[in-house]
Amino acid sequence: MKIGRDVYLNKLISKRHNGLIKVVTGMRRCGKSYLLFNLFKEYLVNEGVAENHIIEIAFDSFENKRYRDPEVLFPYIMEKMSDERMYYVLLDEVQMLDDFESVLNSLGRKQNVDVYVTGSNAKFLSKDIITEFRGRGDEVHMYPLTFGELMSVYDGDKQEGWRDYVLFGGIPLVLGFETADQKSDFLKSLFEETYISDITGRNNIRNKAELEELLNILSSAIGSLTNPSKLSATFKSVKNKSISKDTIIKYIDYLRDSFLIDSAIRYDIKGKKYINTPSKYYFTDLGLRNARLNFRQVEETHVMENIIFNELKVRGYNVDVGVVVMNEVDKNGKKIRKQLEVDFVCNKGSKRFYIQSAYALPDKEKMEQEQRSLVNTGDGFKKIIITKDAVAPLYNEEGILVMSVYDFLLNPDSMEI
């Protein structure tokens, strides 16, 4: 099954011959190797690049084990280059190569070499990996399948696809399993044997149970405002365990560095300033989140919000949680200060959108509730409400674009309607 990952393929294509080392980062099993060795290589060949000018090595295969030694690898690559034409070096699981930073920097300095690498285990899974290449790295960050990418190969209608996506997420390998039991077993095993193992190994975590308990709490609270102090209190009250705020901060950093979770911090829209705490946490893949909870607690309201967050990140937006401060007078004439929430404040360049995730809009009262924060932002940026309801995209009397989650996810230009 060929899945087009055009967003990432086009990014790699646009970075050809830019003199930098192209580094494909992202959570494990999101499709980085397939992007490089299948889709990008196919593109190069179709563009007329001779196959003997594409040097590809997967360091995790047994037959390439000897090339993990830089003293063996570097001469091998040099011997492959017999002329001055451009060579493309594609290296997979590059963290398995000893002293990989020096090797890549040496290759990157050659005029007729274009270098592309992926990596996905403990040493490489770091948000700071680009700094290893001393300013010569150019990152392409990859995500699991979006709903649109899933539907491009899905054998069923969008409602069936949605049910699968909400439950099993977008790890490409999941599509190779036929039954729900096979998919859930795979995701549970993947979480434990790959992600937990990587994070505990990389960070020398001695108390694995603490990390797993934190994951359970975060999994249960996607889209909820929280902070390390609250999480520490939850451990005490619910789990009857004591874990310090500082330890929780470290664990959350480890989870974010592994790309397993992401966060959105609060932004005061009228005051034009960030509010450091609390934040919202979202899972990069919902299938893994659900596997963490043994496929209980699949509340579509929160899951839909998480899916919208991930889609916005894939589209290249910086995403914050909006706060609209309102000064009102209660029925007794007393002044009160209220904080209304905008689910997502999305920024990219000069563009800004305010987005509200509303699973259902059954009546006028619910609509007014959802749009109240949007109509009080005090500026003219575009405002969107995304709902699970089957509605055609339309602008309501407040000038707010209301659309279904299907229209939003399946049309890459949906925010520009």
Write down all domains in the chain, each with its CATH number in brackets.
6-142 (3.40.50.300), 145-417 (no CATH)
Q: What is the mean pLDDT of residues 133-142?
A: 78
Nearest-CA neighbor of 417 among 406, 402, 397, 405? 402
**pLDDT given at position 122:** 40
The tokens for 352 are: 């800004």
pLDDT tens column, 269-306: 999 999 988 999 999 999 999 999 999 988 999 999 99
CA atoms lying within 13 Å on the CB side of residue 211: 23
The tokens for 401 are: 């674009």
Q: Is the pLDDT of residue 128 over 60?
A: no
**pLDDT given at position 290:** 97
Q: Which of 127-141, 243-257, 364-378 has the highest mean pLDDT?
A: 364-378
Radius of gyration of the chain (CA): 23
**pLDDT given at position 239:** 75
Question: Roughly how many angstroms between the first and final C-alpha of the chain, as a whole number?
Answer: 32
pLDDT tens column, 154-179: 999 999 999 999 999 999 999 999 99
The answer to whether the CB of 140 falls within 8 A of the CB of 23 is yes
Distance from C-alpha of 252 to C-alpha of 228, rounded to nearest angstrom: 9
Distance from C-alpha of 187 to C-alpha of 169, rounded to nearest angstrom: 10
**pTM for the full predicted model:** 0.93
> At 131, is the pLDDT very low, low, confident or very high (cuts 50, 70, 90)?
low
